Every structure is written in C-alpha cells, then in structure tokens.
A = this chain, B = another copy of it.
Amino acid sequence: MSSEFLEHVRRMRPVVHTITNYVTANDCANLLLAAGASPIMADAPEETAQIAAMADALVLNLGTLSASKKEAMLLAGKAAAAAGRPIVLDPVGVGASDFRRDAAGLLLAEARPTVIRGNRSEIRALLTGETGERGVDTADLPVHGAETAQKLARQTGAVVLQTGEIDIATDGERVLQIPGGSELLCLVTGAGCMLSALTGAFLAANPDQPLLAAAAAAETMSVCAEIAQKRLRTGEGNASFRTRLIDAMCSLTPEIFRKWRQEA
C-alpha cells in the first residue's frame, strides 16, 4: 500500500517548497530528489508567497528559526492554504523556547497545516504550550501513548505524525501504528526533518488521503532506514548510515518495498 503512495510521488514529481533549517536542508533536498520529488528551498519573505503558490506542497520546519523565516513561513503558509496545497509543519525544538512555541502557534492558526510531524516531546509541547525542554530530541516520555497526538489532531484538525520508538499517525480518531525503522535514526541529525519533507511530497501526490499518505511516508522512511542499517559495514557509523539512508530511497522500487516488508 505504502509502495503505491511512493509510486504516485515518482510519477507526479511534485515540487516541494521547503522552508527549513540550515542544519539539515541539504539532506532534505537530496532525500526529496531520491524520492522523485523536486525540492525548492526559499525562505525570504519577499518570495515565499509566490513560490508556495506554485509549488505542490509546502513544508514548514522550525529549526534555526529566525524572525525573517517566521514571516516567510507565515506568508507561504497563507498562500499555500489559499491555493489548497498540503502543508506540513515540523515543530523542531518547539519546547525549547517561547519564540518557537509562539511561531508554531501562529502557523497552526494561520496556515492550518495538513500534517504536523514531530517527536513525542514536540507534540506534547505543542499541545501544552510548555517550554523548557533542554534539547531537540528529548526522549524521556512513555512510549505507547497516542492520546497526546490524538488530542492535538482534534484540536488542530491536522493529521499528527508522531515519531519515536514507535511511529504513529492519527487524525484524532483513527490511530495507525507504523512498524519497523532503525534506532540509528536517533544518531542522524535531520532524520525527522527528512521525514517531514518526504511527507510533503507524499501529500502532494496523494492529496485525498492525508492520514494514509503521512503513514506511508513514515513507513517508506522506516524501510529505507532498515535497508540502510542492513547495508552498514564494519566500522561505519551515523554518517555512513545517513548516506545509505538517502541511497536506499534513491533505489527503492515498489517491488523492493513489498519484498522487504514481506521478508521482515
């Protein structure tokens, strides 16, 4: 099923306008290219509305946020919403500062994202509005609960794609659990950012089923991570894993996808 969603991405080659942090922008762009999408990174308020209106999806990533990026995201978000384009919000480190929390609140209200993709602490911080997290990947939360994600989905009207030891996607009612993945993803900066960018591509190519598209993006990423981990050689670590992760996306066919899942 997920393999069909990927196939749609490869066929459509959606242009994904990605307003993102400078730490992982390169990986996001190469992952999108590997998936068959066409990234455009642009974050100046002078141009984001024009670009977002023409692109097939918009991804808003709060990493290395600035006042200028915030304004650019707001303009892009409104333009994309007006044009009926899917929008992904990645609230990177939203619990780390009031600045990010307020920006996330503004974007939730004004751009009304189709999907929110974050880890458990980010999803919780979005819901509670609490800041004070010490990092961007805090992981000291109970694993299995989907309640916070469901509440946020109901509150915002967005699909919530929450990643962690177990990834879940929920529209507030249904909760899909995405199997598989790799612990090595925690050792790669931007694993979450890449998934958010990929989700933008999946939404563009599968516009009628945002919940399933988000889950399919996560499963596709999980399969790539499993393949990458299996291909790691002795002495290789997180940097090689990152390379092999993007490589795996590049050569992932529906056949490989289905076969991988059947064998898993």
A23-56 at interface with B (beta carbon < 8 Å)? 23-27, 29-30, 33-34, 38-44, 46-47, 50-51, 54-55
Partner of A96, one of B42, B187, B188: B42
Contact residues, A116-137 vs B (CB, 8 A):
131-137
- A177 located at the interface, meaning its Cβ lies under 8 Å from any Cβ of chain B in the complex: no
Which B residues lie within 8 Å of A209 (CB)?
none
Which residues of chain B are within 8 angstroms of A99 by Cβ–Cβ distance?
44, 46-47, 50
Do the beta carbons of B34 and A97 come within 8 Å of each other? no
A182 interfacial by beta-carbon distance below 8 Å: no
Cβ contacts under 8 Å, A38 to chain B: 134-137
A43-B64, A99-B46, A135-B15 are known contacts. Are A238 and B231 too (CB-CB below 8 A)? no
A250 to B237, CA, bound (A): 5
Q: Determine if A96 and B23 form an interchain contact, defined as CB atoms under 8 angstroms apart.
A: no
B238 engages A40 (CB within 8 Å): no
Chain B's closest residue to A249 (CB) is B237
B235 touches A239 (CB 8 A): no
Question: How far apart sit A24 and B94, CA to CA, in the bound complex (Å)?
Answer: 23
User: How many chain copies?
Assistant: 3
The answer to whether A189 and B33 touch (CB under 8 A), given A66-B43, A132-B54, is yes
Assembled-state Cα–Cα distance A44/B98 (Å): 12
Neighbouring B residues of A54 by C-beta, 8 Å: 96, 132-134
Measured between beta carbons, the chain B residues less than 8 angstroms from A86 are: none
Does A91 sit at the interface, judged by CB under 8 A?
A: no
Task: Assign chain A's interface to a size class.
Answer: 35 or more
**A21→B41 contact, CB < 8 A:** yes
Interface residues of A in 200-257 (CB under 8 A from B): 227, 231, 235-240, 242-251
Judge whether B238 and A30 touch: CB under 8 Å.
yes
Contact for A26 among B24, B249, B250, CB less than 8 A: B24
Is the CB–CB distance between B246 and A238 below 8 Å?
A: yes
Asked if A93 is at the interface of the complex by the 8 Å CB criterion, the answer is: yes
B51 touching A96, Cβ below 8 Å: yes
A50 to B102 CA separation, bound complex (whole angstroms): 14
Taking beta carbons and an 8 Å cutoff, which residues of A are in contact with B?
A: 15, 21-27, 29-30, 33-34, 38-44, 46-47, 50-51, 54-55, 63-68, 93, 96-100, 131-137, 186-190, 227, 231, 235-240, 242-251
Cβ-closest 10 pairs across A and B:
A237-B250, A239-B246, A237-B247, A47-B97, A29-B189, A22-B22, A47-B99, A46-B99, A239-B243, A38-B135
